[in-house]
Amino acid sequence: MPRFIPLAEITDILQSGNFDRLLGGLEDDQLECKSAPYNLAQDREKMELAKDVSALANADGGIILIGVQTERDPLHQGDVIRGVGCFARDRLDVTQHRNVISEWVVPSIPGLELEWHARASNRNEGIVSILVPPEARRDQPFVVAKIVEDAGRVAGSYIGFFERIRHNVAPAKPGDLRDRLKDGRRFRDLDARLQNIEETVGKLAAVQAPRQPPFAIEAVFRRVQNARREIGYDGKPAFSLVAWPMQVIEFSNLFESHEVPVVRLLENPPRLRDAGFDFAARRMSTIIEGQLRRSSVPGVKILEVWRDGPLICVVPGDDWHLCWAMHSTPETGLRINNLAMAETVYLFCDWVQKTYAYATPVPEKFFIRIMFSDMNLNGKGFSLSPYRPNPLNLREDRRPAPMAIGQHFESDFETAAARPEHMAYRLLHHVYTWFGFNAAEMPYVNREGPQPQIDPAQLG
């Protein structure tokens, strides 16, 4: 079973030389794998090295392993280590790598370690590690001081800022970078004093704002559209989930602190397994205009709790989440990874149920709607299969969506009787029947009880 390997265990494996122990490991915030050494004869590869190292330094440190092969696994949202390709020691010039990092990354990364590790069974070959210690965070941010333009020219008058997010290295957008430089703080998270001011203002706004009647569905959708726009997925394939109550409610302590239960749930939503298809942003939440709390990763995902009740999640509808590892192309259209869809819907239902328990009053009923939006590649629609994904069955019984762009599916639930397993089943049942499948063909379902339900054990 693929798993995250703690950094201390990776260090132990490298020292032992038994690299087969890396197999099945998952890339994450602290582990980046490269199948072959960087070709530092090319400026673009120098920038790639600087980007990868600075991204770890802008997170919480980590390690790059050179000589380790990974591949995407449709059952896990992360690349899995499948092989180790050891090479001769003289194939990689450690001094040259140090010099490139020193020249291209500003400021210098304290405690950076580049080390050769010989294979236990053959001391003439091995792999290389680049370790960025957690202590490097003291000197954040780190920037790439040279950028290779499309024409191949090295421009020293531009900088790049990169941050490692899960298994991916994400560049900062100009607006985000401007905000970070303007504030002079990491990741747009304010220091303790400013957080106290923000939360005080938020509480005042919540007290002073009039309680509104239950909102029209159009108002909810506008909020979803704003969330899509916030992470750069307006007009791009997106999978959105939204819940809203059928009565007037309020999250009265939403702006109290990061320690109240509803905020902890926002910042640490439910998950089932390592590298599963959850929607945790792993970021501190921020208060927006005294109306909502938001936890997001730009370009990746967003999660929102609104003071007056709506709960919103948006994740990519393309290969970065909903169609992960399905080899979608303009010719095939977007191929939904049905495990990613089922796990995300189940976890959203679980999060909604837990979050509404902290509302005042607890709503008696609520709606959940899942939304497929702009789900096409060059006009080619999206498709769904009932089989658990693996590289050999990507085409089996895959049926195209009746509409090429998207569709919405909605159900209402009574809070007292709501269970995430049943809620997810009802929502996904709508999806599968829309694609033309019988309910009996739905995967990940336990049909032994009085009513069918999504089985979280089958999602693991």
What is the spatial distance between Cα 162 and Cα 271, in angstroms, rounded to a whole number? Answer: 26
Q: Does residue 230 surpass a pLDDT of 60?
A: yes
Token pair listed for 330: 């303009």
pLDDT score for 100: 95
- Which range among 57-61, 188-192, 358-362, 388-392 shows the weakest confidence by mean pLDDT? 188-192
Identify the CA nearest to 435 among candidates 456, 394, 412, 404.
Answer: 404
What are the CA-CA distances from residue 107 to residues 137, 162, 320 (Å)? 12, 14, 31
pLDDT band at residue 422 using 50, 70 and 90 as cut-offs? very high
Q: Does residue 278 surpass a pLDDT of 60?
A: yes
Calculate what percentage of the chain has a pLDDT beyond 70.
84
pLDDT score for 285: 95
pLDDT score for 167: 52
pLDDT band at residue 282 using 50, 70 and 90 as cut-offs? confident
Q: Does residue 175 surpass a pLDDT of 50?
A: no
Kindly report the length of the chain. 460
Identify the CA nearest to 139 among candidates 163, 169, 106.
Answer: 106
Q: Which residues of 160-199 are buried (b: 16+ CB within 10 A; e: fewer)?
A: bbbbbbbbbbbbbeeebbeebeeeeeeeeeeeeeebeeeb
Neighbours of 253 (CB within 10 A): 15
Domains of the chain, start order: 3-188 (3.30.950), 192-459 (no CATH)
246-269: average pLDDT: 95
pLDDT band at residue 446 using 50, 70 and 90 as cut-offs? very high
pLDDT score for 157: 46
pLDDT score for 419: 96
State the alpha helices, DSSP H only, in 42-114: 43-58, 94-104
Q: Does residue 105 surpass a pLDDT of 80?
A: yes
pLDDT band at residue 2 using 50, 70 and 90 as cut-offs? confident
Q: DSSP characters for 115-144? A: EEEEETTEEEEEEEEEEE-GGGGGG---EE
Q: Are 309 and 249 in contact (CB under 8 A)?
A: yes
| Residue type at 160 in one-letter notation | G
15, with CB counted inside 10 A (0-12, 13-18, 19+), is exposed
Q: Are 320 and 328 in contact (CB under 8 A)?
A: no
pLDDT score for 246: 93
Q: What is the dihedral of CA 331, 333, 338, 344, to 10 degrees?
A: 140
User: CB within 8 A of 143, min separation 6: which ones?
Assistant: 54, 105, 106, 159, 160, 161
For 49-90, the pLDDT digits (tens) are: 999 999 999 988 999 999 999 999 899 988 999 999 999 999
What is the spatial distance between Cα 117 and Cα 107, in angstroms, rounded to a whole number? Answer: 27
- Helices then strands, counting H and E runs in the chain, come out as 10, 26
417-421: average pLDDT: 95
93-115: average pLDDT: 94
15: part of which helix (H) or strand (E)?
A: helix 7-16
What is the spatial distance between Cα 361 and Cα 359, in angstroms, rounded to a whole number? Answer: 5
The model's pTM is 0.80
285-314: average pLDDT: 94
pLDDT band at residue 386 using 50, 70 and 90 as cut-offs? very high
Mean predicted lDDT score pLDDT of the chain: 87
201-214: average pLDDT: 48
User: CB within 8 A of 448, min separation 6: which ones?
Assistant: none
Q: Does residue 233 surpass a pLDDT of 50?
A: yes
pLDDT band at residue 325 using 50, 70 and 90 as cut-offs? very high
For 134-154, the pLDDT digits (tens) are: 999 889 899 998 877 655 556
pLDDT band at residue 161 using 50, 70 and 90 as cut-offs? low
pLDDT band at residue 257 using 50, 70 and 90 as cut-offs? very high
For 393-414, the pLDDT digits (tens) are: 666 789 999 987 779 999 999 9
pLDDT score for 165: 56
pLDDT score for 310: 97
